[in-house]
A = this chain, B = another copy of it.
Amino acid sequence: MRKLKESRRPEIIDAALAVAADRGLDALSMRAVAQRVGVTPMALYGYFRTKDELLEAVVGRLLEEIPPAPPGLGWREMLQHLAYGLRSVAGRYPAVLPVLLTRPAVSPGAIRVVDVVYRALLDAGVPHGQVARLERMFSTLAIGHILSEMSGRFGAGTLDPPARRAQLSPESLPGHHTLGAHLDQPVDWDDEFTANLRDMCDLAAALAAADTNPQATH
């Protein structure tokens, strides 16, 4: 439980982002970061207790790179601005995405982002007791979508969809069969991200409406 040094922390975090940006997730090692800083791997352990702790700090810095929202935006625009900002920052450092979805928001930068979402949902009129849940839902969906998209879960598989489906008997996949040609069209992930955001905002609005007018729930 030694006390950690502070002086060169920002320099090390920058080096980690640089490694992630131009050599990917698998290359983001303590050894690579150390080399970029110009120091022995063991020197990093004076600043971060473990690699996990370094990654946590990296996520915080990444979130701080999201441009601040211009003043006077409505709550939907605030959430959109944040989500698009996250998406473009993540595009620059895709290696850090899995960390975003598995580590808690403990750094100041991360907490500030959470606060922006809280404010937007409060503005939308979401009941106080549901704001935290909706923030988690919103962030899970946003990060999960970006991660799925960038890691190839959503497409660009090794087999094209029609050939892949042909491996299974058509009657065992009635859903795929009914949708047919709809499944073979290429998808614009930008549009899909936007549509998902719109749906999440509609959901927040519906929860707000159900609160002021309980009969409206059904």
Provide the residues of chain B in CB contact with A173, threshold 8 Å.
111-112, 115
Nearest opposing residue in chain B for A137, CB measure: B196
Query: Is A168 among interface residues, defined by CB-CB distance under 8 A?
Result: yes
On whether A165 and B103 interact (CB within 8 A), knowing A132-B179, A178-B118, the answer reads no
Residue among A112, A157, A199 with the highest chain B CB neighbour number at 10 A: A199
A25–chain B nearest beta-carbon distance, Å: 10
A111–chain B nearest beta-carbon distance, Å: 6
Query: Is A145 among interface residues, defined by CB-CB distance under 8 A?
Result: yes
The CA-CA distance from A114 to B183 in the complex, in Å, is 12
Q: Which residues of A contact B (CB under 8 A)?
A: 98, 101-106, 108, 111-112, 114-119, 122, 128-129, 131-133, 136-137, 140-141, 143-145, 147-148, 151-159, 164-165, 167-168, 172-176, 178-179, 182-183, 187, 192, 195-196, 199, 202-203, 206-207
